[in-house]
């Protein structure tokens, strides 16, 4: 897997409620509730850590999943969240998330 | 409310998360609305640093929905610094304002910050009536200009139309005005006592015939419809979200279950928010109350359709008692429904 870096898009509000991250987009009030795996990806989306490292250090560490499945599912998830406008992706490390992008406490 | 949003509220309730907080940043105001319940003198507002500290604590507690209100927000010179800080912490931010200080520059900044909506108080389409209520000549035109600035930037705006005797007949025109501006319009016939207990402004409440007209206005039915509920479900229900998933913080750091429920539960100048939220005896007393614990209301025939406000009941002297204003609304609503059936 080539390195992919990902960060939260701007104009979003987000908070972790129980084990799930809730995201609201300001301009159309769209609501998203991420499952625990997607929530872990969201929390790791700092633009500086590669997806490969997130899968290895967070997903495989915190969830009962084999590395190959985790890589495939995480890649698909990042693509899906980017398509929804919730994440921005790059082949290079990026500056930190938009200061108004919302990060769960 | 969507099923997904309901799920979020249910999770918050299970985990006792204060998902929604109204935070009044000032009670100072540049209008003098005849029905206002606030004392507009500054008795020592939280400083910028103190506000940021409270926001840090709310983020840690799990608050997502943050409503900034007042008084008039734009009188705080640090407003945009606070808004930027709140957005950086990931809050979904809404504003309530009279907007008469809101120009194009402020509208740009609100858009750039990703504020989800701005609620503006409009009392009438007639300048003499609106300005007569706010006591500020020209205030209607300035508020409407601000709404246009916000709408031109694609922002979501709501008009809040509080109904009182002076403007009770104007709401259809305000709704038309809102439609022309491309904004939502909410009606609210609630007038509450002043914070110091003075009830003199309650004589501004609309009359029963005026209330009946609102409740029988077919164009408003969707705004007032209630989900049918069985008596057993209702008896186990919580009276409202106050103290369960929502609370209110004053400009002085006082924490209350709701802006309309002035039961002191703690102060954030001397206490951590999490301690007040989870450990305040008063907050815990509020959240233990179920409808079956209300001696009068639990046996009332209007129980399943009543919109009883525990805060109004508290202001009348007993948080487990009825709120006479809501009793009146229930009776008028029932009369209106009966009249509607007769017609049908």
What pLDDT does residue B272 have?
98
Which chain A positions have a beta carbon within 8 Å of B64's beta carbon? 13-15, 17, 22, 24
Query: Which two three-digit tokens encode residue B342?
Result: 């007769």
DSSP helix/strand/coil, A13: strand
Separation in Å, CA of A1 to nearest CA in chain B: 31
Query: B190: exposed, middle or buried (C-beta count within 10 Å: 0-12, 13-18, 19+)?
Result: middle
Q: Which range is least confidently modeled, A94-103, B99-108, B174-183?
A: A94-103
User: Does residue B62 sit at the A interface (CB-CB below 8 Å)?
Assistant: yes
Query: First-to-last CA distance in chain A?
Result: 30
Categorize the per-residue pLDDT at B120 as very low, low, confident or very high, splitting at 50, 70 and 90.
very high
- pLDDT: which is higher, B305 or B200: B200
Separation in Å, CA of A102 to nearest CA in chain B: 3
Q: Cα(B327)–Cα(B307) distance, rounded to whole angstroms?
A: 9
How far, CA to CA in Å, does B102 sit from each of A58, B67, B219? 46, 17, 31
Contacts of A104 (CB under 8 A, 6+ apart): A14, A15, A16, A21, A42, A43, B90
CB contact under 8 A, B88 and A14: no
Q: Cα(B87)–Cα(A15) distance, rounded to whole angstroms?
A: 12
> Which residue from B4, B14, B17 is facing A33, i.e. has the nearest CB?
B4
Residue B174 parent element (H or E): helix B171-181
CB contact under 8 A, A18 and B88: no
Average pLDDT over residues B113-130: 97
Predicted confidence (pLDDT) per residue in A63-101, tens digit? 989 999 999 999 999 999 999 999 999 999 987 555 554
DSSP helix/strand/coil, B206: coil
At residue B229, does pLDDT exceed 70?
A: no
Nearest to A20 by CA among B241, B60, B11: B11
Q: Which of B21, B87, B90, B156 to mutate to test the interface with A (most CBs of A within 10 A)?
A: B90
Let me know: does A9 contact A85? Beta carbons within 8 Å: yes
Separation in Å, CA of B46 to nearest CA in chain A: 22
Query: Which two three-digit tokens encode residue B98?
Result: 């009279």
Which chain B positions have a beta carbon within 8 Å of A12's beta carbon? 90, 114
Q: What angle do CA B238, B245, B109 make, to 5 degrees?
A: 140
- pLDDT: which is higher, B336 or A48: A48
> Which residue from B4, B84, B92 is facing A13, i.e. has the nearest CB?
B92
> Which residue from A14, A31, A103 is facing B5, i.e. has the nearest CB?
A31
CB contact under 8 A, B88 and A100: yes
Q: Residues 69-88, chain B: which have Cβ within 8 Å of A?
A: 84, 87-88
**Cβ contacts from A onto B, under 8 A:** 78
Categorize the per-residue pLDDT at B325 as very low, low, confident or very high, splitting at 50, 70 and 90.
confident
Categorize the per-residue pLDDT at B221 as very low, low, confident or very high, splitting at 50, 70 and 90.
low
Q: Which range is least confidently modeled, A8-22, B193-207, B210-224, B278-292?
A: B210-224
User: Does residue B91 sit at the A interface (CB-CB below 8 Å)?
Assistant: yes
At residue A104, does pLDDT exceed 50?
A: no
What pLDDT does residue A98 have?
54
Average pLDDT over residues B18-42: 97
Tokens 């304002």, residue located: B97
List, in sequence order, every residue forming a beta bridge with A12; answer none if it has no partner.
A25
Strands A87-90 and B20-24: unpaired
Q: Which range is least confidently modeled, B178-182, B236-240, B265-269?
A: B236-240
Question: pTM for the full model?
Answer: 0.90
What pLDDT does residue B218 have?
80
Contacts of A103 (CB under 8 A, 6+ apart): A8, A14, A97, B88, B89, B90
Which chain B positions have a beta carbon within 8 Å of A13's beta carbon? 64, 87, 90-93, 114, 116
- pLDDT: which is higher, B320 or B338: B320
What pLDDT does residue B167 have?
97
Average pLDDT over residues B76-99: 97
Separation in Å, CA of A2 to nearest CA in chain B: 30
């Amino acid at each position: 897997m080539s390195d992919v870096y990902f960060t939260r898009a701007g104009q979003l509000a987000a908070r972790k409620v129980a084990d799930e991250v809730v995201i609201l987009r300001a301009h159309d009030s769209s609501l998203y509730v991420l499952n625990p795996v997607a929530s872990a990806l969201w929390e790791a989306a700092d633009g500086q850590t590669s997806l490969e490292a997130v899968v290895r250090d967070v997903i495989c560490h915190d969830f009962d999943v084999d590395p190959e499945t985790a890589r495939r599912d995480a890649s698909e998830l990042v693509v899906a969240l980017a398509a929804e406008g919730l994440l921005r992706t790059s082949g290079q490390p990026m500056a930190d998330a938009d200061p108004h992008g919302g990060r769960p406490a | 409310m969507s099923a997904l949003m309901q799920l979020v509220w249910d999770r918050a309730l299970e985990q006792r998360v204060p998902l929604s907080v109204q935070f009044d940043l000032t009670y100072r105001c540049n209008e003098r609305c005849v029905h206002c319940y606030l004392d507009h003198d500054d008795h020592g507002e939280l400083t910028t640093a103190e506000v940021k500290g409270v926001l840090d604590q709310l983020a840690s507690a799990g608050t997502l929905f943050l409503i900034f209100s007042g008084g008039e927000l734009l009188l705080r010179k640090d407003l945009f610094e606070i808004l930027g800080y709140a957005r950086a912490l990931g809050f979904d931010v809404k504003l309530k304002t009279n907007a008469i200080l809101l120009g194009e520059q402020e509208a740009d900044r609100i858009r750039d910050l990703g504020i989800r909506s701005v609620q503006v108080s409009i009392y009438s389409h007639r300048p003499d009536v609106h300005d007569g209520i706010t006591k500020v000549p020209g205030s209607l035109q300035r508020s409407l200009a601000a709404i246009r600035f916000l709408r031109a930037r694609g922002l979501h705006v709501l008009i809040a139309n509080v109904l009182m005797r002076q403007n009770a007949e104007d709401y259809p025109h305000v709704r038309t005005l809102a439609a022309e501006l491309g904004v939502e319009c909410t009606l609210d016939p609630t007038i509450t006592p002043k914070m110091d207990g003075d009830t003199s402004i309650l004589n501004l409440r609309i009359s029963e015939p005026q209330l009946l007209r609102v409740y029988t206005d077919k164009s408003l039915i969707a705004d007032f419809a209630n989900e049918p509920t069985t008596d057993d479900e209702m008896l186990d229900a919580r009276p409202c979200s106050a103290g369960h998933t929502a609370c209110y913080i004053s400009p002085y750091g006082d924490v209350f279950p709701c802006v309309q429920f002035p039961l002191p539960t703690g102060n954030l100048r001397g206490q951590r928010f999490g301690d007040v939220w989870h450990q305040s005896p008063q907050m815990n007393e509020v959240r233990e109350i179920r409808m079956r614990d209300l001696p009068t209301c639990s046996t009332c025939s209007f129980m399943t359709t009543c919109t009883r406000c525990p805060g109004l009941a508290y202001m009348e002297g007993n948080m487990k008692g009825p709120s006479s204003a809501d009793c009146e609304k229930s009776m008028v609503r029932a009369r209106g429904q009966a009249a509607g059936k007769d017609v049908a």
